[in-house]
Structure 1
Amino acid sequence: MNAPVVIALHYQNDVLHPEGKIRVGLGADDRARAALLEAAGRLLAGARAKGWPIVHVRVAFRADYGDLIQNAPILRTVASLGAVREGSWGAEFFSALAPLDSRNELVITHHRINAFFGSALETVVRQFNPSHLLIAGVATHSVVESTVRHAVDCGFEVTVAADACASADSGMHAASLASMAVIARISPVTQALEEWS
Protein backbone atom coordinates (compact mmCIF):
# COMPACT_ATOMS: atom_id res chain seq x y z
CA MET A 1 0.00 0.00 0.00
CA ASN A 2 1.31 3.44 -0.88
CA ALA A 3 2.09 5.91 1.88
CA PRO A 4 -0.70 8.24 2.90
CA VAL A 5 -0.59 11.87 1.88
CA VAL A 6 -0.83 14.42 4.69
CA ILE A 7 -2.95 17.48 3.92
CA ALA A 8 -2.22 20.36 6.32
CA LEU A 9 -4.89 23.06 6.05
CA HIS A 10 -4.47 26.75 6.86
CA TYR A 11 -1.56 26.65 9.28
CA GLN A 12 -1.08 30.36 8.55
CA ASN A 13 -0.29 33.45 10.63
CA ASP A 14 -3.71 35.09 10.32
CA VAL A 15 -5.29 31.84 11.50
CA LEU A 16 -2.89 30.66 14.22
CA HIS A 17 -0.66 33.51 15.38
CA PRO A 18 -1.82 35.48 18.46
CA GLU A 19 -1.56 38.64 16.33
CA GLY A 20 -3.39 37.12 13.36
CA LYS A 21 -6.66 38.57 12.11
CA ILE A 22 -8.75 35.39 12.33
CA ARG A 23 -7.12 33.31 15.11
CA VAL A 24 -9.98 30.77 15.26
CA GLY A 25 -10.91 32.22 18.64
CA LEU A 26 -7.85 30.94 20.48
CA GLY A 27 -6.33 33.48 22.84
CA ALA A 28 -2.59 34.11 22.90
CA ASP A 29 -2.16 32.15 26.13
CA ASP A 30 -4.98 29.67 25.55
CA ARG A 31 -3.90 26.09 26.34
CA ALA A 32 -5.88 24.97 23.30
CA ARG A 33 -3.53 27.00 21.06
CA ALA A 34 -0.43 25.38 22.54
CA ALA A 35 -1.99 21.91 22.27
CA LEU A 36 -2.98 22.48 18.63
CA LEU A 37 0.47 23.76 17.66
CA GLU A 38 2.17 20.86 19.44
CA ALA A 39 -0.05 18.25 17.78
CA ALA A 40 0.31 19.81 14.33
CA GLY A 41 4.08 19.94 14.81
CA ARG A 42 4.12 16.23 15.72
CA LEU A 43 2.02 15.41 12.67
CA LEU A 44 4.40 17.17 10.29
CA ALA A 45 7.51 15.81 12.02
CA GLY A 46 6.12 12.28 11.99
CA ALA A 47 5.22 12.46 8.30
CA ARG A 48 8.68 13.80 7.47
CA ALA A 49 10.38 11.03 9.44
CA LYS A 50 8.39 8.44 7.49
CA GLY A 51 8.98 10.11 4.14
CA TRP A 52 5.27 10.71 3.57
CA PRO A 53 4.22 13.45 1.16
CA ILE A 54 2.79 16.60 2.76
CA VAL A 55 0.58 19.07 0.93
CA HIS A 56 0.43 22.39 2.75
CA VAL A 57 -2.77 24.19 1.79
CA ARG A 58 -3.11 27.93 2.23
CA VAL A 59 -5.95 30.33 1.59
CA ALA A 60 -5.01 33.72 0.16
CA PHE A 61 -6.69 36.44 -1.90
CA ARG A 62 -5.69 39.45 -3.96
CA ALA A 63 -5.24 42.68 -2.02
CA ASP A 64 -8.50 44.04 -3.48
CA TYR A 65 -10.31 40.71 -2.85
CA GLY A 66 -11.31 40.63 -6.50
CA ASP A 67 -10.93 36.84 -6.42
CA LEU A 68 -13.03 36.39 -3.27
CA ILE A 69 -16.67 35.54 -3.97
CA GLN A 70 -18.35 36.80 -0.81
CA ASN A 71 -21.43 34.56 -0.89
CA ALA A 72 -21.13 33.23 2.67
CA PRO A 73 -20.74 34.93 6.07
CA ILE A 74 -17.31 33.37 6.67
CA LEU A 75 -16.03 34.72 3.35
CA ARG A 76 -17.44 38.19 4.00
CA THR A 77 -15.72 38.12 7.38
CA VAL A 78 -12.34 37.42 5.74
CA ALA A 79 -12.75 40.57 3.64
CA SER A 80 -14.03 42.73 6.50
CA LEU A 81 -11.03 41.72 8.65
CA GLY A 82 -8.57 42.32 5.81
CA ALA A 83 -7.26 38.80 6.38
CA VAL A 84 -5.03 36.47 4.32
CA ARG A 85 -4.16 38.97 1.62
CA GLU A 86 -1.65 37.58 -0.87
CA GLY A 87 1.87 38.81 -0.03
CA SER A 88 0.95 39.75 3.56
CA TRP A 89 2.46 38.37 6.75
CA GLY A 90 -0.98 36.98 7.66
CA ALA A 91 -1.13 34.81 4.54
CA GLU A 92 2.29 33.29 5.26
CA PHE A 93 2.62 29.95 7.02
CA PHE A 94 3.03 29.98 10.80
CA SER A 95 6.80 29.59 11.15
CA ALA A 96 6.80 26.44 13.31
CA LEU A 97 4.49 24.67 10.83
CA ALA A 98 5.87 26.03 7.56
CA PRO A 99 6.74 23.76 4.63
CA LEU A 100 10.31 22.60 4.21
CA ASP A 101 12.17 22.88 0.93
CA SER A 102 11.68 19.24 0.00
CA ARG A 103 10.35 17.38 -3.02
CA ASN A 104 7.94 15.63 -0.63
CA GLU A 105 6.33 18.91 0.43
CA LEU A 106 4.14 20.95 -1.85
CA VAL A 107 2.07 24.11 -1.41
CA ILE A 108 -1.40 24.70 -2.83
CA THR A 109 -3.39 27.94 -2.63
CA HIS A 110 -7.18 27.89 -2.77
CA HIS A 111 -10.00 30.45 -2.65
CA ARG A 112 -13.11 28.61 -1.43
CA ILE A 113 -14.03 26.77 1.76
CA ASN A 114 -13.33 23.29 0.33
CA ALA A 115 -9.59 23.10 -0.45
CA PHE A 116 -10.20 20.86 -3.47
CA PHE A 117 -12.67 23.18 -5.19
CA GLY A 118 -11.10 25.21 -7.99
CA SER A 119 -7.54 24.31 -6.93
CA ALA A 120 -4.85 21.88 -8.06
CA LEU A 121 -5.11 19.86 -4.84
CA GLU A 122 -6.59 16.69 -6.33
CA THR A 123 -4.08 16.67 -9.20
CA VAL A 124 -1.18 17.12 -6.78
CA VAL A 125 -2.44 14.45 -4.37
CA ARG A 126 -3.08 11.89 -7.12
CA GLN A 127 0.51 12.06 -8.37
CA PHE A 128 1.46 10.12 -5.22
CA ASN A 129 -1.22 7.50 -5.94
CA PRO A 130 -2.37 7.24 -2.32
CA SER A 131 -5.33 5.23 -1.13
CA HIS A 132 -5.44 7.19 2.10
CA LEU A 133 -5.30 10.84 3.13
CA LEU A 134 -4.41 12.12 6.61
CA ILE A 135 -6.07 15.53 6.99
CA ALA A 136 -5.73 18.20 9.68
CA GLY A 137 -6.04 21.95 9.99
CA VAL A 138 -8.06 24.93 11.02
CA ALA A 139 -10.95 25.34 11.28
CA THR A 140 -12.42 21.91 11.85
CA HIS A 141 -16.00 22.85 10.98
CA SER A 142 -15.15 24.71 7.75
CA VAL A 143 -12.10 23.89 5.60
CA VAL A 144 -11.35 20.57 7.32
CA GLU A 145 -14.87 19.15 7.13
CA SER A 146 -15.52 20.47 3.61
CA THR A 147 -12.21 19.05 2.36
CA VAL A 148 -12.74 15.69 4.08
CA ARG A 149 -16.17 15.29 2.51
CA HIS A 150 -14.79 16.09 -0.95
CA ALA A 151 -11.88 13.68 -0.48
CA VAL A 152 -14.25 10.85 0.42
CA ASP A 153 -16.38 11.63 -2.62
CA CYS A 154 -13.19 11.38 -4.73
CA GLY A 155 -12.73 7.81 -3.46
CA PHE A 156 -10.00 8.34 -0.85
CA GLU A 157 -10.07 6.82 2.60
CA VAL A 158 -9.54 9.59 5.13
CA THR A 159 -8.22 9.89 8.65
CA VAL A 160 -8.70 13.20 10.47
CA ALA A 161 -5.91 13.98 12.95
CA ALA A 162 -8.31 15.42 15.51
CA ASP A 163 -5.87 17.07 17.91
CA ALA A 164 -4.18 18.89 15.00
CA CYS A 165 -7.53 20.57 14.25
CA ALA A 166 -9.38 23.36 16.05
CA SER A 167 -12.39 25.64 15.84
CA ALA A 168 -13.19 28.91 17.58
CA ASP A 169 -15.96 27.11 19.44
CA SER A 170 -14.94 23.83 21.08
CA GLY A 171 -18.52 22.56 20.78
CA MET A 172 -18.45 23.21 17.05
CA HIS A 173 -15.12 21.37 16.82
CA ALA A 174 -16.54 18.34 18.64
CA ALA A 175 -19.74 18.36 16.57
CA SER A 176 -17.77 18.50 13.33
CA LEU A 177 -15.55 15.57 14.37
CA ALA A 178 -18.67 13.58 15.30
CA SER A 179 -20.23 14.37 11.94
CA MET A 180 -17.10 13.36 10.02
CA ALA A 181 -16.84 10.09 11.96
CA VAL A 182 -19.56 8.70 9.71
CA ILE A 183 -17.26 8.96 6.67
CA ALA A 184 -13.70 9.12 8.06
CA ARG A 185 -11.54 7.72 10.85
CA ILE A 186 -11.06 10.25 13.67
CA SER A 187 -7.77 9.71 15.50
CA PRO A 188 -5.27 11.65 17.58
CA VAL A 189 -1.99 12.38 15.77
CA THR A 190 -0.01 9.69 17.62
CA GLN A 191 -2.47 6.96 16.73
CA ALA A 192 -2.82 8.14 13.13
CA LEU A 193 0.93 8.04 12.61
CA GLU A 194 1.18 4.56 14.13
CA GLU A 195 -1.72 3.15 12.12
CA TRP A 196 -0.10 4.05 8.82
CA SER A 197 3.48 3.12 9.61
Structure 2
Amino acid sequence: MKAALLAMHYQNDVLHVDGKVRVGVAADDPARPRLIASAARLIAGARANGVPVIFVRIAFAPDYADCLRNCTLFRRVAESGAVQEGSWGAGFYDELAPRPGEAVVTHKRNNPFWASGLEEAVRATGASRLYLAGIATNHVVEHGARHASDLGYDVAVVADACSTAQAHLQAASLETLAMLADVVRVDEAVAQMGGRP
Protein backbone atom coordinates (compact mmCIF):
# COMPACT_ATOMS: atom_id res chain seq x y z
CA MET A 1 0.00 0.00 0.00
CA LYS A 2 1.56 3.30 -1.10
CA ALA A 3 1.75 5.91 1.65
CA ALA A 4 2.38 9.60 2.22
CA LEU A 5 3.06 11.61 5.37
CA LEU A 6 1.36 14.91 6.18
CA ALA A 7 3.62 16.85 8.57
CA MET A 8 1.40 19.66 9.81
CA HIS A 9 2.15 22.97 11.53
CA TYR A 10 5.71 22.25 12.59
CA GLN A 11 6.19 26.02 12.49
CA ASN A 12 8.05 28.38 14.80
CA ASP A 13 4.96 30.15 16.15
CA VAL A 14 3.35 26.79 16.90
CA LEU A 15 6.32 24.76 18.19
CA HIS A 16 9.18 27.05 19.25
CA VAL A 17 9.39 28.12 22.89
CA ASP A 18 9.17 31.76 21.69
CA GLY A 19 6.19 31.08 19.41
CA LYS A 20 2.89 32.94 19.72
CA VAL A 21 0.42 30.04 19.35
CA ARG A 22 -0.15 27.91 22.44
CA VAL A 23 -3.01 25.52 21.58
CA GLY A 24 -0.60 22.72 20.70
CA VAL A 25 2.35 23.04 23.08
CA ALA A 26 2.30 24.99 26.32
CA ALA A 27 5.07 27.59 26.66
CA ASP A 28 6.73 25.71 29.53
CA ASP A 29 5.96 22.18 28.33
CA PRO A 30 8.84 19.87 29.35
CA ALA A 31 7.70 17.40 26.67
CA ARG A 32 8.63 19.78 23.83
CA PRO A 33 12.06 18.20 23.11
CA ARG A 34 10.51 14.73 23.06
CA LEU A 35 7.82 15.87 20.61
CA ILE A 36 10.43 17.46 18.33
CA ALA A 37 12.59 14.32 18.44
CA SER A 38 9.59 12.11 17.64
CA ALA A 39 8.53 14.29 14.71
CA ALA A 40 12.11 14.35 13.40
CA ARG A 41 12.31 10.52 13.58
CA LEU A 42 9.01 10.23 11.76
CA ILE A 43 10.03 12.56 8.93
CA ALA A 44 13.46 10.90 8.63
CA GLY A 45 11.82 7.46 8.61
CA ALA A 46 9.43 8.46 5.85
CA ARG A 47 12.25 9.83 3.75
CA ALA A 48 14.40 6.74 4.32
CA ASN A 49 11.53 4.51 3.16
CA GLY A 50 10.73 6.59 0.07
CA VAL A 51 7.44 7.85 1.52
CA PRO A 52 6.63 11.36 0.26
CA VAL A 53 6.35 14.02 2.97
CA ILE A 54 3.91 16.87 2.43
CA PHE A 55 4.56 19.79 4.76
CA VAL A 56 1.39 21.63 5.73
CA ARG A 57 1.57 25.15 7.14
CA ILE A 58 -0.87 27.84 8.15
CA ALA A 59 -0.10 31.47 7.34
CA PHE A 60 -1.99 34.71 6.83
CA ALA A 61 -1.36 38.03 5.11
CA PRO A 62 0.32 40.60 7.40
CA ASP A 63 -2.98 42.50 7.72
CA TYR A 64 -4.97 39.25 8.26
CA ALA A 65 -7.36 40.19 5.45
CA ASP A 66 -7.51 36.48 4.58
CA CYS A 67 -8.14 35.34 8.18
CA LEU A 68 -11.74 34.64 9.15
CA ARG A 69 -12.53 35.99 12.63
CA ASN A 70 -15.57 33.78 13.10
CA CYS A 71 -14.00 31.66 15.86
CA THR A 72 -11.95 32.26 18.98
CA LEU A 73 -8.90 30.46 17.59
CA PHE A 74 -8.50 32.70 14.56
CA ARG A 75 -9.38 35.86 16.49
CA ARG A 76 -6.53 35.02 18.89
CA VAL A 77 -4.15 34.33 16.00
CA ALA A 78 -4.84 37.77 14.51
CA GLU A 79 -4.68 39.54 17.88
CA SER A 80 -1.33 37.94 18.70
CA GLY A 81 0.26 38.67 15.31
CA ALA A 82 1.00 34.97 14.80
CA VAL A 83 1.89 33.10 11.59
CA GLN A 84 2.10 36.17 9.38
CA GLU A 85 3.26 35.26 5.88
CA GLY A 86 6.98 36.01 5.55
CA SER A 87 7.62 36.12 9.30
CA TRP A 88 9.89 33.93 11.41
CA GLY A 89 6.80 32.61 13.18
CA ALA A 90 5.21 31.31 9.98
CA GLY A 91 8.44 29.56 9.00
CA PHE A 92 9.14 25.91 9.68
CA TYR A 93 10.96 24.87 12.83
CA ASP A 94 14.54 24.23 11.68
CA GLU A 95 14.77 20.55 12.64
CA LEU A 96 11.43 19.76 10.99
CA ALA A 97 11.66 21.81 7.81
CA PRO A 98 11.11 20.55 4.27
CA ARG A 99 14.00 19.80 1.98
CA PRO A 100 14.18 21.27 -1.52
CA GLY A 101 11.68 19.52 -3.77
CA GLU A 102 9.36 18.39 -0.98
CA ALA A 103 5.77 19.56 -1.22
CA VAL A 104 4.60 22.48 0.93
CA VAL A 105 0.92 23.39 1.21
CA THR A 106 -0.42 26.51 2.93
CA HIS A 107 -3.95 26.66 4.30
CA LYS A 108 -6.06 29.31 6.04
CA ARG A 109 -8.88 27.37 7.72
CA ASN A 110 -9.13 24.70 10.40
CA ASN A 111 -9.39 22.00 7.73
CA PRO A 112 -6.00 21.77 5.97
CA PHE A 113 -7.71 20.43 2.83
CA TRP A 114 -10.04 23.42 2.46
CA ALA A 115 -9.12 25.47 -0.65
CA SER A 116 -5.42 24.74 -0.12
CA GLY A 117 -4.35 22.36 -2.85
CA LEU A 118 -3.62 19.62 -0.28
CA GLU A 119 -5.98 17.14 -1.89
CA GLU A 120 -4.21 17.59 -5.22
CA ALA A 121 -0.77 17.26 -3.58
CA VAL A 122 -1.83 14.02 -1.90
CA ARG A 123 -3.36 12.65 -5.08
CA ALA A 124 -0.11 13.36 -6.95
CA THR A 125 1.74 10.95 -4.64
CA GLY A 126 -0.54 8.06 -5.59
CA ALA A 127 -0.88 7.19 -1.89
CA SER A 128 -3.84 5.30 -0.49
CA ARG A 129 -2.61 5.41 3.13
CA LEU A 130 -1.95 8.74 4.85
CA TYR A 131 0.06 9.18 8.01
CA LEU A 132 -0.86 12.41 9.81
CA ALA A 133 1.17 14.17 12.47
CA GLY A 134 1.31 17.71 13.74
CA ILE A 135 0.07 20.37 16.07
CA ALA A 136 -2.52 20.66 17.45
CA THR A 137 -4.00 17.19 17.55
CA ASN A 138 -7.49 18.46 18.31
CA HIS A 139 -7.41 21.07 15.54
CA VAL A 140 -5.50 20.53 12.29
CA VAL A 141 -4.80 16.81 12.84
CA GLU A 142 -8.43 15.99 13.65
CA HIS A 143 -9.78 18.11 10.79
CA GLY A 144 -7.27 16.57 8.39
CA ALA A 145 -7.96 13.01 9.51
CA ARG A 146 -11.73 13.44 9.22
CA HIS A 147 -11.46 14.92 5.73
CA ALA A 148 -8.95 12.31 4.54
CA SER A 149 -11.19 9.55 5.86
CA ASP A 150 -14.18 11.04 4.04
CA LEU A 151 -12.10 11.10 0.85
CA GLY A 152 -11.56 7.36 1.23
CA TYR A 153 -7.95 7.28 2.42
CA ASP A 154 -6.69 4.73 4.92
CA VAL A 155 -5.62 7.10 7.71
CA ALA A 156 -3.10 6.69 10.52
CA VAL A 157 -2.47 9.33 13.18
CA VAL A 158 1.03 9.23 14.66
CA ALA A 159 0.28 10.03 18.29
CA ASP A 160 3.74 10.81 19.66
CA ALA A 161 4.44 13.24 16.80
CA CYS A 162 1.27 15.18 17.70
CA SER A 163 0.54 17.47 20.62
CA THR A 164 -2.20 19.36 22.36
CA ALA A 165 -1.31 21.83 25.10
CA GLN A 166 -3.55 20.10 27.63
CA ALA A 167 -3.13 16.37 28.26
CA HIS A 168 -6.84 15.66 28.66
CA LEU A 169 -7.56 17.22 25.25
CA GLN A 170 -4.81 15.14 23.65
CA ALA A 171 -6.28 11.96 25.14
CA ALA A 172 -9.82 12.87 24.09
CA SER A 173 -8.74 13.73 20.56
CA LEU A 174 -6.84 10.47 20.09
CA GLU A 175 -9.77 8.49 21.49
CA THR A 176 -12.09 10.19 19.02
CA LEU A 177 -9.68 9.70 16.12
CA ALA A 178 -9.37 5.97 16.87
CA MET A 179 -12.85 5.51 15.38
CA LEU A 180 -11.74 6.68 11.93
CA ALA A 181 -7.97 6.18 11.88
CA ASP A 182 -5.28 3.86 13.18
CA VAL A 183 -3.58 5.55 16.13
CA VAL A 184 0.08 4.52 16.02
CA ARG A 185 3.44 5.61 17.39
CA VAL A 186 6.46 6.75 15.38
CA ASP A 187 8.34 3.46 15.51
CA GLU A 188 5.26 1.54 14.37
CA ALA A 189 4.57 4.02 11.57
CA VAL A 190 8.14 3.87 10.28
CA ALA A 191 8.11 0.06 10.40
CA GLN A 192 4.88 0.03 8.39
CA MET A 193 6.37 2.44 5.87
CA GLY A 194 9.24 0.00 5.41
CA GLY A 195 6.88 -2.91 4.90
CA ARG A 196 7.67 -4.44 8.29
CA PRO A 197 4.91 -5.71 10.62
Q: Shorter-chain TM-score: which interval?
A: over 0.9
What is the CA–CA distance in structure 2 between the aligned matches of 1:15 and 1:124, rounded to whole Å? 23
Shift of 1:116: 0.2
* TM-score, scaled to structure 2: 0.95
Q: Any residues of structure 2 matched to 1:1-197 within 5 Å, and which?
A: 1-2=1-2, 4-23=3-22, 24-28=24-28, 30-102=29-101, 105-197=102-194
* CA distance in structure 1 between the partners assigned to 2:77 and 2:130 by the alignment: 28
Q: In structure 1, how many angstroms separate the alpha carbons of the residues matched to 2:93 and 2:83?
A: 12
TM-score, structure 1 normalization:
0.95
Q: What's the CA shift string for 1:17-61, capped at 9, x where partnerless?
A: 011111434235x33101110100000000111111000000000
Give 3-state SS (helix, strand or coil) of 2:62's partner. Answer: coil
The one-letter amino acid of 1:31's match is P
Measured in 1, the distance between the counterparts of 2:104 and 2:189 equals 22
Which structure 2 residue ranges, 5 or more long, are not aligned? none
CA distance in 1, matches of 2:39, 2:83: 20
Please give the per-residue CA displacement for 1:157-181, whole angstroms capped at 9, x wherever unaligned.
1000000000111110110000000
Offset at 1:95?
0.4
Give 3-state SS (helix, strand or coil) of 1:90's partner.
coil
Counterpart-to-counterpart distance in 2, 1:96 and 1:136: 15
| Distance in 1 separating the partners of 2:167 and 2:60 | 27
Letter of the structure 2 residue corresponding to residue 99 of structure 1: P
Cα distance, 1:110 vs. partner? 0.3
Structure 2: distance between partners of 1:48 and 1:195:
13
- Residue identity opposite 1:171 in structure 2: H
Cα distance in structure 1, aligned partners of 2:136 and 2:25: 10
SS of residue paired to 2:141: helix
Divergent runs of 4+, >6 A: none
Instruction: Identify unmatched segments of 5+ residues in structure 1.
Output: none
